[in-house]
Amino acid sequence: MKKTTQLLLMAVAFLFSTVIMAQSTVTGTIVDAEINSPLPGANVVEKGTTNGVSSDFDGKFKLETTATTGQIVISFVGYGSVTLKFTGSANLGNIKLTPDNSLDEIVIIGSGVIDLAEGRKTPIAVSTIKANQIQEKTGTSDLPEILKSTPSVQSIQGGGFGEGQMFLRGFDQVNTAFLLNGQPINSPEDGRMFWSNWSGVLDVAQAVQVQRGLGSSKLAISSVGGTVNIVTKTIDRKEGGFVQQMIANDNYTKTTASYSTGLMESGWAFSALLGHWQGEGYVEDTDGQGQTYFISLGYKANDNNIFNFMITGAPQWHATSGFYDLETLLDNGRKYNTAYSGVDSPNLLQSGNYPTGRNVYHKPVANLSWDLTINDQSSLSTVLYASAGRGTFASTRTGGTPRVPQYARGSNNNHNWYGLITNYNNDLNENLSLNFGADVRLYNGIHFRSVNEFLSIDSLGASSTYNGGSYQVTEVFGGINPWNVFFNTNDDHAQRLHGSGNYDYEEDINYAGFFGQLEYSKDNFSAFFQGSASTQSHVRTEYANASTLGQSEESEKVDKPGFNVKAGASYNLNNSNIVFANVGYYSRQPFHSDLFVDDRSSNQLNPLVEGNQKITGLEAGYKFLGDLVSANFNIYHTTWDNKIDYSSRDTNGDNFNDEFTTTSPLKQVHMGVELEVFTRFTDRLSINGFVSVGNWEYNGNITTRITDDNGNVVATGDTSYIDGVKIGQAAQFTAGITADYEILPRLKVGANWNQYDNLYGNSDFSGAEFATQDNRGAIKLPSYDTVDTGLSYKMLLGKNDDKSLQIRVNINNVFDEVYIENSRDNIHIDSGDIAWKGVNVDNGVRFGYGRTWNFSMRYNF
């Protein structure tokens, strides 16, 4: 027995020593290939496993593995990943990463509340724009323009600074979720996005990721079309900064300066950016100016605790332009815009012409995040955020004989917004992971009309029971300066405009959601299940139309539950070929603006808005990962049901809406295919391309019901025959090719071509085209294509190449293509009508911008 025990002990010792002998240690130092500086926080992962580490402050890493041979994958935000082989314990020395030198979509390992696609093993339809691409191609554009060279995305530039619109798979940006470091930034009232409030975010973004369709977000958000994640993390930045000067067409100028300490030995990291811009605008009389600021403070207390505080804002004002009938634009040019002449304002860059409308806003956003690593298997991430928006749309009001501009009336939209998102993640075993969390939002919206600037008068009469009858408005609060508007808000109801079509009300929207995800992964197979449930309450408070002196009136509280579920699976056929499929169902609450018969003047609930909207998504894809060529192919089918269209109008000329039209449930079906190809046949040339083909139509007809302001039915039974009508505003066929070539070291030229076809007018279901069963549907707009190009050169400076001067010039719409960007009408061509490229000239349209340019010099240090 004793000998047997000894033999067993010797066997165990032998096996244990064999395991120890089989372990390997891989070390190295990760550096920037261009300036040879260390990259702290780079990801080092053993290929085919979840075994990974991050590089330290000096760029060094140490990876323990039980494999005697294998490969490691090294990636860092804004840089191309590198795959290296190892045999046994090895020191790989200096490993150089080059900015954007990869076909991979790995940007950052998704952690915490930032739902980037690579944080989940089961794939989705996704495209990622990295930091250096954003830096080179942003110019004077909004974020949608940067994303236009990805499948199923169309960017509409709008008539003024910051008025860009983005469509994703045919859905507008109201129905696309936008997240900043995991924080939702769509308006809680109606889902809208205002890019003028986020003009500085592209200056500091490390990556922007477009997740088409179901996406990887776990929140119960309004992502019918998809999700866009914007990532700005201070703790991941390296030490350095830049000063940049940009000039562009129409007297545009922008000055920006930024500095980051990087992660210091003390564990602290600090980043800041300040900028100022101004310009006259491509369209006539659309001047604008503003500032951008971004301040972020990070602290890595230890390997288990990382904190990050951020505050950013973009105070700005800009004049706007509207739609004009096609004939007017053809006669006057695509830059045509009306404005009042002979009116001076100290806030205008160009005196003499006063705009018919001006957007003035300042919306700082602050958030504090905490990433806690509990142990090797579990972590907890939390973001606490707040936003205080103050701003107005100031439209010029005329009067007198002859009629002259008298004052600028402000339609003010202020808010106080607080939120908390927390997410717990646990690797239950090597094959199964679980995460769950909560999403809480508290929103107070403040809406009123006021005098924002007196022009030819110095007081204005108003009337309301709340203010005791007639009274005089003699003061302006903030005027049209965004900083003044923010710090000098009009909190006095007696100096707000009541009566005669004005309004004064508030709304409180409180939201609580809970979400969870379970993902299984073994060998070449992975699968996930996500679910979320939420409740949303609404209360509206009326002032202008309150019936009692000095007392506001509060609506009944409306509670709306909602939920979504998603599931999917993928299979790696081999290291280069992956197939996947996902399915999801959303029960989405109606927006606050849908719940009341007239949300600007009445607390009365809309009786026709009952159930939630129903969204069903199906998608499948194939990914090919090659050394020289990579490709993504996706198919999708999205059904959006039980959507209610709602409108109101003034029928008796008293400036109050008193007729309200609501449709029966509306159904949209969006389906299509997408192909994205990436190539890099040499280190100096990359050619990427995409094509997306969609078929987006209304399914079934709708019936309208007209009610008065008391909810009584005035008329019913009018039918719009829209079954099979194409959904407008976004091209259903898009394609593009992007090429970049490095002529000499650090001298690069690039160009991209985009094609748009199957573009239709905006269907509002009114007019003869929808009145009969043989309707002609939405008008088809002419197809068009644009070419953009750019040239950049980076000159290395300093002894250690740690400084550089970067010069960039971009020319957009090189061939000055004249095209209709979108149409608000659907007026078909009848006998005797005048047409341009097959479009009736009576349609209200907006032309896209012609040839534009920008030139920048950037000193990096």
* 53: confidence class by pLDDT, cuts 50, 70, 90: confident
Tokens representing 493?
């109801």
88 has pLDDT over 50: yes
Of 102, 126, 146, the position where a domain reaches its end is 102
Cα 305 off chain centre by: 29
Of 793, 788, 794, nearest in space to 853 by CA: 788
492 within domain boundaries? no
pLDDT in tens, 300-337: 899 899 898 989 999 999 998 888 999 999 999 999 99
Same domain? For 124 and 96 the reply is: no
Of 102, 132, 147, the position where a domain reaches its end is 102
19 has pLDDT over 50: no
Predicted pLDDT of residue 519: 93
Summarize the confidence of residues 521-541 as an average pLDDT.
Answer: 93
* Distances in whole angstroms, Cα of residue 646 to Cα of each of 148, 167, 191, 560, 583: 30, 21, 15, 19, 30
369 has pLDDT over 70: yes
Q: How many CB atoms lie within 10 A of CB 25?
A: 13
3 has pLDDT over 70: no
Predicted pLDDT of residue 142: 83
Predicted pLDDT of residue 591: 87
* 726: confidence class by pLDDT, cuts 50, 70, 90: very high
Across 793-828, b (16+ Cβ under 10 Å) vs e yields bbeeeeeeebebebebebbbbeeeebbbbbbebbbb
Return the DSSP state at 459.
-
Summarize the confidence of residues 50-74 as an average pLDDT.
Answer: 81
Predicted pLDDT of residue 105: 31
Same domain? For 59 and 136 the reply is: no
680 has pLDDT over 70: yes
* 6: confidence class by pLDDT, cuts 50, 70, 90: low
33 within domain boundaries? yes
100 has pLDDT over 70: no
711 within domain boundaries? no
405 has pLDDT over 80: yes
Predicted pLDDT of residue 741: 93
* 649: confidence class by pLDDT, cuts 50, 70, 90: low
Same domain? For 198 and 117 the reply is: yes
Same domain? For 58 and 128 the reply is: no
155 within domain boundaries? yes
195 within domain boundaries? yes
Same domain? For 140 and 219 the reply is: yes
Same domain? For 84 and 151 the reply is: no
Beta strands in 771-802 (DSSP E): 780-781, 784-797
Written as one string, the DSSP assignment of 507-535 is: EEEEEEEEEEEEEEEETTEEEEEEEEEEE
Residue 164 maps to which CATH number? Answer: 2.170.130.10
pLDDT in tens, 537-561: 999 999 999 999 999 999 999 999 9
* Distances in whole angstroms, Cα of residue 74 to Cα of each of 52, 70, 82, 95, 364: 10, 13, 5, 9, 36
Percent of residues, the chain, with pLDDT higher than 70: 87
Summarize the confidence of residues 469-486 as an average pLDDT.
Answer: 89
Same domain? For 114 and 24 the reply is: no
Tokens representing 121?
């093993």
Predicted pLDDT of residue 839: 95
The number of distinct structural domains making up the chain is 2
* 199: confidence class by pLDDT, cuts 50, 70, 90: confident
Summarize the confidence of residues 155-178 as an average pLDDT.
Answer: 88
**C-alpha span between 212 and 636 (Å, rounded):** 9
Same domain? For 33 and 89 the reply is: yes
* Structural domain that includes position 177: 109-232
Same domain? For 38 and 62 the reply is: yes
Summarize the confidence of residues 214-243 as an average pLDDT.
Answer: 77
Instruction: Tell me which of 752 and 646 has the higher pLDDT.
Output: 752
Cα 273 off chain centre by: 20
Residues in the chain: 861
Instruction: Tell me which of 405 and 249 has the higher pLDDT.
Output: 249
* 448: confidence class by pLDDT, cuts 50, 70, 90: very high
Torsion sign over Cα 178, 180, 184, 188: negative
Of 516, 506, 526, nearest in space to 571 by CA: 526
Q: How many CB atoms lie within 10 A of CB 710?
A: 9
Predicted pLDDT of residue 825: 87
Of 232, 266, 297, the position where a domain reaches its end is 232
pLDDT in tens, 569-605: 999 998 889 999 999 999 999 888 888 877 778 888 8
Predicted pLDDT of residue 17: 42
Phi and psi at residue 395, to the nearest 5°:
-110, 140
Count Cα neighbours of 439 within 13 Å in the Cβ-side half-sphere.
22
**C-alpha span between 711 and 596 (Å, rounded):** 10
Radius of gyration of the chain (CA): 29
Mean confidence (pLDDT) of the chain:
85
Beta-sheet pairing, 659-663 with 702-708: antiparallel
Same domain? For 145 and 206 the reply is: yes
Reduced to 3 states (helix: H, G, I; strand: E, B; else coil), residue 701 is coil
565 has pLDDT over 70: yes
678 within domain boundaries? no
pLDDT in tens, 422-435: 999 999 998 999 99
Predicted pLDDT of residue 663: 76
82 within domain boundaries? yes
77 has pLDDT over 60: no
Reduced to 3 states (helix: H, G, I; strand: E, B; else coil), residue 432 is strand
Summarize the confidence of residues 76-98 as an average pLDDT.
Answer: 80
The burial class, CB within 10 Å (0-12 / 13-18 / 19+), for 1 is: exposed
Residue 44 maps to which CATH number? Answer: 2.60.40.1120
Torsion sign over Cα 463, 469, 475, 478: negative
pTM (predicted TM-score): 0.83
503 within domain boundaries? no
Same domain? For 79 and 96 the reply is: yes
Vertex 228: Cα angle to 225 and 233 (nearest 5) = 165
> Cβ(765)–Cβ(720) under 8 Å?
yes
390 has pLDDT over 90: yes
Same domain? For 141 and 37 the reply is: no
Least confident interval from 180-189, 279-288, 666-675? 180-189
Q: Which of 155-164, 378-387, 392-401 has the highest mean pLDDT?
A: 378-387
Predicted pLDDT of residue 192: 87
349 has pLDDT over 70: no
